[in-house]
Amino acid sequence: MKGLLENSKELIMIYYIDNNNEVTQRIISVVEIKREHVIAYCHYRKQVRSFMFENILSCGPVKRRVGA
């Protein structure tokens, strides 16, 4: 997972456990990787946020729609 985040130039979708222990889905653009967290622009909150690696359940590239 950390490797995907480190090498990504695309949008990433993560499933994340927030401060209320709720599972949330976020679309992020990675800004910087730190030791225990990733700093990323959160497209849901429209601001730069910090996401702890231990709270990220899964991540993957955002699939774009093709068509009309």
CATH code at position 23: 2.30.30
Q: What is the pLDDT of residues 1-40, one digit of tens each?
A: 667 777 777 899 999 999 999 999 999 999 999 999 999 9
pLDDT at 53: 94
Q: What kind and span of H or E run contains 14? A: strand 12-17
Global confidence as pTM: 0.82
Given a contact cutoff of 8 angstroms between Cβ atoms, the answer to whether 45 and 14 are in contact is: no
Residue with tokens 């992020």: 28
The encoded tokens of residue 37 equal 């967290």
Coarse DSSP helix, strand, coil percentages of the chain, rounded to the nearest 5 percent: 10, 50, 35
How many domains does the chain fold into? Answer: 1
Whether 43 is in a domain gets the answer yes
Whether 13 is in a domain gets the answer yes
**Cα separation of the two ends of the chain:** 33
Whether 67 is in a domain gets the answer no
Q: What is the domain extent for residue 12?
A: 2-61
